[in-house]
Structure 1
Amino acid sequence: MSDLLSTLYPWMKAFHVMAVMSWMAGLFYLPRLYVYHAERGSGPGEPGESLAVMEAKLLHLIMGPASVATWVAGLILVMTPGIVDWSMIWPWTKAAGVIAMTLFHHWLMIQRRRIASGKGLSGRHYRMMNEVPTLLMVVIVLSVIVKF
């Protein structure tokens, strides 16, 4: 099994990076759509209906599959012998960042339901939350590249 994981390592790493890029694109863009929805799409009709369709498709067709692919490929990478030294701090900070990213994703799903029911937050609040993925990305990338 370890020979197979070692052979697949570069492919899993490439797949993981592509999945992360797709997931992050959605995590950066969805809160921005929520800002537009809160500020310009609160009434019936357009643009609220178009924004709701865009939000749903982004969440379910891009972000959902990309997050699952990120997790699966990441776990396969972690299981590859000799890749992760668990005595160092970086794998733990990366793991905490990825878990926080996943929790943020779920928060975005909850917010979509709240917006649909007319109980969404203000555009200012969503604008501030739009910075969360950037902060988490900094922690994750520094953890993996610098290995502090």
Structure 2
Amino acid sequence: MNDFLVEHFNLIRGLHILAVIAWMAGMLYLPRLYVYHTGTTLGSEMDATFKVMERRLLRGIINPAMIAALVFGLGLIMADGAIRGWDFLLKPWMLAKLAGVFFLFGWHGFLSKARKAFEAGQNTRSEKFWRATNELPFVAAIVIVLSVTTKYLN
């Protein structure tokens, strides 16, 4: 298995990047839908439309992209471990990346729970809250990308 991962490292890295792009796009868009959904009247046609859009975005794009990003990311970790040894997991750049990734998993769960609240007509968050938190995944992406792209700097 490790031989396969090492031989196909660049392919796996490319697929990981594509999955992360899809995951991030969805996690940036979903809170924006929540901003607009917050302003609708419960039971209205727009309320129903937003519920469908949010469910399809989460189940059709965000969840599968997260799973793909996780699977390909674990493949990269296994390949890196086989190539360079496992000590890279404790390097500051990797710890920063993992902190960003864990935040994204938590934020994903938070957004999923919020979708269920909207679905049940029980959203307690304001439009202002969703606007203020909309860019959190991008802040995590900055930490993750810079930690990886600067890992060899002194």
TM-score by length of structure 2 reads 0.90
Secondary structure in 1 aligned to 2:44?
Answer: coil
Choose from 137, 143, 148 the match for 1:144: 148
| Cα offsets for 1:70-98 (capped at 9, x unmatched) | 00000000011235723420111101111
**Map of 1:94-133 to 2, 5 A cutoff?**
94-120=97-123, 121-133=125-137
Aligned-pair CA distance for 1:141: 0.7
Q: Single out whichever of 112-121 and 56-65 deviates more from structure 2.
A: 112-121
Q: Single out whichever of 23-32 and 122-131 deviates more from structure 2.
A: 122-131
Find the aligned partners of 2:140 and 2:60 in 1 and give their Cα distance.
23
Find the aligned partners of 1:20 and 1:75 in 2 and give their Cα distance.
13
**Map of 1:7-26 to 2, 5 A cutoff?**
7-26=7-26
Q: Relative to 1, partners in 2 of residues 1:3 and 1:58: Cα closer, same or farther, differing over 3 Å?
A: same
Find the aligned partners of 2:126 and 2:50 in 1 and give their Cα distance.
16
| Corresponding residue of 2:6 | 6
Find the aligned partners of 1:122 and 1:42 in 2 and give their Cα distance.
14
| Corresponding residue of 1:76 | 75
Unaligned runs of 5+ in 1: none
Unaligned runs of 5+ in 2: none
Q: Is the 8 A contact 1:42 1:118 kept in 2?
A: no
| Corresponding residue of 2:46 | 47
Q: Is the 8 A contact 2:23 2:66 kept in 1?
A: yes
Find the aligned partners of 1:109 and 1:103 in 2 and give their Cα distance.
10
Identity of aligned residues (%): 37
Aligned-pair CA distance for 1:127: 0.9
Number of residue pairs matched by the alignment: 147
Find the aligned partners of 1:79 and 1:11 in 2 and give their Cα distance.
14
Q: Is the 8 A contact 2:23 2:61 kept in 1?
A: yes
| Cα offsets for 1:73-132 (capped at 9, x unmatched) | 000000112357234201111011111101100000100111122221111111111021
Find the aligned partners of 1:55 and 1:133 in 2 and give their Cα distance.
17
| Corresponding residue of 1:134 | 138
| Corresponding residue of 1:64 | 63
Q: Is the 8 A contact 1:93 1:140 kept in 2?
A: yes
Find the aligned partners of 1:65 and 1:2 in 2 and give their Cα distance.
24
